[in-house]
Structure 1
Amino acid sequence: MQAQLEAANSAMEKEKVLSKQAVDDVATAIKETEVTKVIEVSNAKMEKLEAENESLKEIMRSLEKQAAEAEEKFLAAKNEIDEKIKRTTELESRVEQLQEAMQRMEDKLSNLESENQVLRQQALSISPAKGLSGRFKSTVLQRSPEIPVLSNGEVKGVPESPISPSPEKGQSEAEQRRQKLLTADRQQENLDALLKCITQDVGFSKERPVAACIIYKSLLQWRSFEAERTNVFDQIIQAIGTAIENQENNDILSYWLTNTSMLLFLLQRTLKASGASGLSQRRRTTSNTLFGRMTQGFRSSPATGGLSFSNGGVIGGLDAPRQVEAKYPALLFKQQLTAYVEKIYGMIRDNLKKEIQPLLGPCIQAPRMARATLGKSASRSVHASNAPQQMLSSHWHSIIKSLGTLLSIMRANYVSAFFIRKVFTQIFSYINVQFFNSLLLRRECCSFSNGEYVKSGLAELERWVYEATEEYVGSAWDELKHIRQAVGFLVIHQKPKKSLDEITHDLCPVLSIQQLYRISTMYWDDKYGTHSLSSEVIANMRVLMTEDSNNPVGNSFLLDDDSSIPFSVDEISKSMPDIDLSDIDPPPLLRENPGFFFLQPQAS
């Protein structure tokens, strides 16, 4: 019984353990089932959220793509609009320029036709005995002694000057003759006073040449431009010719260049040849045409300017409300004045050429001392380089000093920057021709050390160009491109490795094959002992020269100096600024003269 009881208790304990274990298993199963359900629910929600997230990402990518496309379209449209605006602006500018050019050409054509017609008629009426001698005296109109010519250009049958009293009715013939003689004497005195005044240096008033202004205002007041016969213009031309005759003083020449160019500008804007009214009328009807309406529509604002006269003053541009219909003497005077402007300009340019010409020789070839110093070792050349530098300064700096002196003189005389740029452009072209031709003709100049010497001098010249500013020098530095590229070839290293394409397109594009062949075959290195171009490149040059041998233009390797006049009357007129003559203070010689009351500045 005891054993059975113990067995029963043992079984009961085991049952309890099993029951407890079963209860635990059931609880664990229940928990696992709940967790599984939660996980399944969470997974379903996650999958749903991920699907929604992917959908949103896809929408975002689509929106970003649309935004990028819209931005590209916007930029393209903006660029297209900007381009159209730019093209429209350029078109408007071109249309205005074409319209102005057309008007200028029509005016010029009409004036030239009228001038030629007047000159032809006058030439037919002049006898050979009144013929021409000398470049500038050839245009002087001779007078017949039997024709009564007053000093201000008025003759019988020509409207009299405003200061000349008209003969009153009832006056006797002797009284009228005496009155005319008195008037002629008084006007001759006025002309003598004007000539005496302009032969002196009367200076400038607010950068305006006083002599040119008072000459113009006097001629306008005396109505000399409308006179059929006059000796006023002849005497003014003679006074100018006497002032500049055999003149080597650039200060005086610059003074007269300013005065003659300003006077020519005033005449160009004022005088109108006879017969030009018909063409002007046809030009005015252009505005009624399709092209005229189109050009007027393009213009956003009316053209500023226009000539306006106030006590002989001129303000503004081309369309002159008051233009004088010039007669033959006035047209002849304008031609003579043009010739004097060209002559004075040429004299200034040639004076500078004569001044620098003796200095060009030492500048193209390094002195022997300099070549010897350049050929020494670097350690010794540091101490021995002062002598060649002094030689460089003495020659190149003398040229630079001459250039600077002329620039100061012309600026002090208020010469137009247009003329100053033209002078220096031609001077630099002259220097380029002299240097380059010397280099091609003298083998001793085609050395490495000589190239360094010339390059140093060109650097000094370039520094002066920079300091002188583009306003007064313009593109003069570009005129030295031949000598600059030739010197660049002399000092470049590893010449045998250079191909013909590199030499002709990169290093020396402006030089011809003949010029390159000449330099490369004459080159010698007195410093490092290097060689010129390879034999293959030299052979290719010979082939190219043989192919071009039938071309007469390419047979000469030397440059020619251009000494022509590089401007026209129209260019002078366009380069001159607008001017107001109403406040010009007359010189003391004329200020108290009652015959020149019209020169007094008017109160504003």
Structure 2
Amino acid sequence: MEQEEYTREEINWSYIEFVDNQDVLDLIEKKGGLIALLDEACMFPRSTHETFAQKLYTTFKNNKRFVKPKLSRTDFTVVHYAGDVTYQADHFLDKNKDYVVAEHQDLLNASSCPFVASLFPSLPEESSKSSKFSSIGSRFKLQLQSLMETLSSTEPHYIRCVKPNNLLKPAIFENTNVIQQLRCGGVLEAIRISCAGYPTRKTFYEFVNRFGVLGPELLEGSNDDKIACQKILEKMKLENYQIGKTKVFLRAGQMADLDARRAEVLGKAARIIQRLMRTYIARKQFVLVRRSATHLQSFVRGTLVRNLYECMRREAAAVKIQKNVRRHKARESYLLLQAATVTLQTGLRAMSARKEFRFRKETKAAVHIQARWRCHRDYSHYKNMQRAVLTYQCAWRQRLARRELRNLKMAARETGALKEAKDKLEKRVEELTWRLGLEKRLRTDLEEAKTQEIAKLQETLHDLQLQVEEAKTMATKEREAARKAIEEAPPVIKETPVLVEDTEKVNSLTAEVDQLKALLQTERQARETAKKEHAEAERRNEELMKKFEGAEKKIEQLQDTAQRLEEKATNMESENKVLRQQAVAISPTAKALAAYPKSPFQLRTPEIVNAPNGEM
């Protein structure tokens, strides 16, 4: 640990080798180690100590810390740093399974006897929830892990216990055994490292905080603790110290020298503090005496001021009484004069009000008489005008009713013609829809036939291509065979009719190839004609679709016109009813109008404003 700290701080240090047993720890407690294999074997009910030992032999056969004895089937040897230790695996599984059932442990832990409860302490919740099977090895591993966490979170100091002899008897000291224990415990390496190293180390902040009093002027204007430590050590003229990345390393005895100088500086500071404290006590006594004198002076001055204030207060009270008496006399005289003035003003205002009232009463009576006369005159004129207007309205409405009757007869004839046109259009629409459905079915049948024909043509084309390829391969093979036969035969045989047969075969093959090409050409022409027919069919379909769209638009227009005509007819019926009612209520010609048949069309009349009592 100490050498690792030197390396981590990057100081000048020559590494001292010592024995490390990390590989032994990995062999025992690492994942896949001895304890893990033991727990795994305990989980299987058919495992025995022999199968466990064989599994260890096969797993760690290449590990240098694990050795298999020659004359045993269940023993194994672990090469520890202190020496070789042989273990017998005969009862490993039974001892590892020797655990208390969770229910039994809870029962015994809840015992009223404190001794029984302490023998069976409750397990932590994490270990009980993590796995149902809890072996002795796993619990030991958890305890060891908790111990290591505790040690890593603290600063432990170890006490090495050395046995003087194996008999454990007094007054016997075995030098070889003691040296072996010190060597195996790493005590000799630790002593050698401590002698050669720096036993005293402080962080920069701790060093500056403790020994900054030795050079306070060096700390002014510098925020770097490392530079401050360097300056303090140079000022103290120390040698053989090391400054790392985060700590200061001192040799043995240098810390005592720095503490002695620090105690000397602190002593001087203590004397200065004592001197200042005595000065503070004397000044405190002087200030207390001066404050007492000041309080006495302030009390005397306060008494004199209070007497002067009493005299001034009495003088101000006398002035205030005089002011209030004078104000009371002036107010009484003012109120007397005000009452007389108000009485006089009241009499004058009442006389003028009575005069104004008499004038308004006379004026109101005259206005009332004038209003009655004007009302009588205007009412008689209004009655005459009303009679004349009613006579004129009856004559005018009679004339309009006759005109509208003629228009209704004309409209009835027009509606009959429109109904016939509507029926013809509906028949035309039905015929167009039927033709459209027929065209759709023909188009679908044409597309299906076209697809089938194209598929057949593609299959025939594929077969023809395969035949052409086979003919080409056969021609090439025959040409190669003929060339080999010509090369192998003597010159006399070259003039034999064999050559003629080969040329005939070649000619026949070329003729077949030409026929296949012709067939292929015809196939292509047939495909082009099919494409043209397909394009023509698509063009026809587009024309039919356009015609169908035009017919649909015409149908929509006819439906709109028919709907407008129906709305017009309904409006005419309603207006005709209203007109009949008005004619019956107003003119004597209503009986003549009621004799005519009712028309289903709209009857348009001029707007007539019916006022109450026949007014326009």
Q: Normalization by structure 2: what TM-score?
A: 0.16
**Pair member with larger Rg:** 2
Larger RCO (alpha carbons 8 Å, 6+ apart): 1
